[in-house]
């Protein structure tokens, strides 16, 4: 009898049993919670067969663009249902595209937490206004809201006019010379505007699109999206050791270094101005007043207790403003150009409105001019209905609740599909048709406010929506005062990519002709 061998076998078995017991004890709470959610959500209509643990994974398209189109297809097939469930592995999602279902989610002070996917923005944006929750979000929102006061936005108008003028000079090289892709030209203009209004510094993106900072912004946006849709990149310890993680960290250093340097320089300038403000010696000529920037407001901001923001707090908000404020606006501008170029009868009305407002003048756009451009604003809003810059966004259900008579457990991610929501035929007859008249004041009154939410809605709506609409009107009016636009693609030829923003896969191809 091999006593030594028997003892070794017993030790091995004991170790194996111990490991299995540990795994079972560790996973038991997760399994119990999964079963609880599965039972509660059983009555909610779903898509196909929901297999244990893998859910609907076998049905789902692997690519981000394909998955977005699949969501849109489901929303149309199940349009009559108030909501839809989808299990991605063991993780449940609610797919929402009905105004009456969206309202209790976005109008609640409870379900305000962003979904799990937003955590991958934390290394870059920290927990600023976009990603924070609870008391921090409430305090930050209250402090930052005055920054977007009408009088302050008026100071940003000069930057928008200057950068729009640079864009026109770039576009003139395409005048009458056939089809070209305008997507990046417009995007770099939006990036220049947001950088100068956010930080008070120029990056000259329209003249130098190869700078490290610009490259880092676009690479970081791509890395965040790739990580969101690839679960194997979720663990930090794995991600940081892969080549994509190392490039992510290198870009993060570039972005934070640039913002930190700008904050420090701006803070020093403000100290000097404050120290000189009491100087009564008028022998030296007064320096020209420097333009205000979002950063200046943050440096002066105080909470209810009189405390200012820390350097990290300020960086979070500046980086958030940069991230949120250029791609979304650029997408809206590009889609507006495409739709105007596809509908010459609408463009003719816009040109008439511009001629009545500006005549033959090439003067900058004023705040009074913006108030007169009612039809152009309706064009922008209709473009955002058909092609919302953010095609979907998600919230976490923070407590067990009932939505449209269905019980929904805590922890479920609710995905609001803006693209589908905006195509509800009850609120937008002939939903695929481009009809700016829908958004003239006399036609929009009485519509459910949750049927159209390009800037989200409720307490966590976009704080910069007035800024965005103002920028879009300035840039579009400047382009259309100079050119007639003709689209070189048909709607059915566009290949939509719904990721962090909604964009055409192969760019935006147009032709320009001087007016």
**Tens digits of per-residue pLDDT, 226-275?**
887 777 888 899 999 999 999 999 999 999 999 999 999 989 888 887 77
Q: What mean pLDDT comes out for the span 42-69?
A: 80
Domain 43-272+290-514 class, CATH top level: mainly alpha
The stretch 162-177 carries a mean pLDDT of 96
Does 288 score more than 50 pLDDT? Answer: no
Classify the C-alpha dihedral 235-131-456-324 as positive or negative. negative
Q: What is the pLDDT of residue 225?
A: 80
pLDDT over 70 for what percent of the chain? 91
Q: Is this structure's pTM higher than 0.75? A: yes
Q: What is the mean pLDDT of residues 307-317?
A: 91
Give the pLDDT confidence of 499-508 residue by residue, as tens digits.
Answer: 788 999 899 9
Confidence bin at 286 (pLDDT 50/70/90): very low
Q: What is the pLDDT of residue 287?
A: 45
Listed range (118-132, 295-309, 321-335, 485-499) with the worst mean pLDDT: 295-309
Which burial class, exposed, middle or buried, applies to 478 when counting CB atoms under 10 A from its CB (0-12, 13-18, 19+)?
buried
Separation of CA 223 from chain center: 15
Residue 13 has pLDDT above 60, yes or no: no
CA distance 229 to 216: 20
Number of H helices, E strands in the chain: 18, 11
Residue 48 predicted with pLDDT over 60: yes
State residue 63's pLDDT score. 63
Q: What is the 3-state secondary structure (H, E, C) of 48-79?
A: CCCECCCECHHHCCCCHHHHHHHHHHHHHHCC
pLDDT value of residue 508 = 95
The pLDDT of residue 324 is: 85
Q: What is the pLDDT of residue 284?
A: 45
Report residue 303's pLDDT band, with 50, 70 and 90 as the boundaries.
Answer: confident
Sheet holding 84-88, edge to edge: 84-88, 91-96, 413-416, 393-396
**What pLDDT, on a 0 to 100 scale, did the predictor assign at position 290?**
63
Task: Tell me what pLDDT residue 26 has.
Answer: 55
Rounded to 5 degrees, what are φ and ψ at 484?
Answer: -100, 140
Residue 71's nearest CA partner among 108, 96, 91, 52 is: 96
For the chain, give the mean pLDDT: 88
Q: Judge contact between 502 and 331, C-beta under 8 A.
A: yes
Q: DSSP assignment of 481-511, as one string?
A: HHEEEEESS-GGG--EEESSSEEETT--EEE
- Please compute the mean of the pLDDT values over residues 76-82 and round it to a whole number: 92
Mean pLDDT of 366-386: 97
19 falls in which pLDDT band (50, 70, 90)?
A: low
- The residue extents of the domains of the chain are 43-272+290-514
Q: Which of 181-190, 216-225, 246-255 has the lowest mean pLDDT?
A: 216-225
Mean pLDDT of 450-458: 95
**Tell me, what's the pLDDT at 330?**
95
């Amino acid at each position: 009898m091999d006593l030594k061998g028997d003892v070794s076998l017993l030790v091995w078995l004991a170790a194996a049993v111990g490991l299995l017991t540990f795994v079972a004890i560790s996973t038991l709470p997760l399994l119990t919670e999964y079963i609880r959610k599965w039972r509660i959500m059983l009555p909610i209509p779903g898509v196909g067969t929901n297999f244990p643990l893998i859910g609907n994974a076998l049905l789902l398209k692997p690519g981000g663009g394909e998955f977005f189109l699949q969501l849109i297809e489901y929303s149309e097939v199940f349009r009559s249902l108030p909501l839809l469930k989808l299990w991605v592995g063991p993780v449940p999602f609610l797919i929402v595209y009905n105004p009456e279902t969206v309202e209790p989610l976005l109008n609640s002070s409870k379900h305000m937490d962003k979904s799990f996917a937003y955590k991958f923005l934390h290394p870059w944006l920290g927990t600023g206004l976009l990603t924070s929750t609870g008391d921090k979000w409430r305090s930050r929102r209250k402090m930052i809201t005055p920054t977007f006061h009408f009088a302050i936005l008026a100071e940003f108008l000069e930057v928008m006019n200057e950068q729009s003028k640079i864009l026109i000079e770039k576009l003139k090289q395409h005048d009458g010379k056939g089809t070209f892709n305008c997507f990046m030209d417009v995007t770099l203009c939006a990036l220049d505007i947001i950088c100068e209004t956010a930080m008070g510094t120029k990056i000259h993106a329209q003249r130098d699109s190869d700078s490290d900072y610009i490259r880092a912004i676009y690479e970081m946006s791509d890395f965040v999206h790739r990580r969101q849709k690839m679960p194997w990149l979720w663990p930090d310890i794995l991600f940081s050791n892969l080549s994509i993680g190392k490039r992510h960290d290198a870009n993060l250093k570039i972005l934070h270094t640039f913002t930190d340097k700008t904050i420090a320089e701006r803070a020093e300038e403000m100290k000097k101005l404050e120290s000189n403000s009491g100087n009564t010696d008028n022998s030296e000529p007064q320096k020209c007043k420097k333009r205000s920037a979002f950063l200046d407001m943050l440096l002066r901001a105080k909470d209810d207790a009189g405390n200012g923001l820390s350097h990290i707090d300020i960086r979070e908000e500046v980086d958030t403003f940069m991230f949120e404020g250029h791609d979304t606006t650029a997408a809206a501008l590009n889609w507006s150009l495409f739709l105007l170029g596809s509908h010459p009868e609408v463009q003719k009305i816009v040109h008439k409105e511009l001629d009545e407002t500006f005549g033959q003048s090439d003067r900058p756009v004023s705040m009074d001019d913006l108030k007169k451009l009612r039809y152009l604003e309706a064009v922008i809003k209709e473009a955002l209905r058909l092609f919302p810059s953010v095609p979907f966004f998600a919230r976490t259900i923070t407590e067990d609740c009932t939505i449209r008579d269905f019980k929904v457990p805590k922890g479920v991610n609710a995905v609001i599909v803006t693209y589908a929501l905006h195509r509800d035929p009850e609120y937008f007859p002939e939903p695929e048709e481009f009809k700016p008249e829908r958004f003239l004041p006399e036609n929009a009154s009485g519509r459910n406010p949750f049927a159209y939410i390009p800037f989200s809605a409720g307490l966590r709506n976009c704080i910069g929506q007035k800024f965005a609409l103002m920028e879009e009107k300035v840039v579009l009016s400047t382009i259309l005062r100079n050119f007639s636009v003709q689209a070189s693609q048909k709607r059915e030829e566009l290949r939509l990519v719904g990721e962090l923003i909604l964009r055409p896969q192969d760019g935006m191809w147009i032709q320009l002709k001087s007016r």
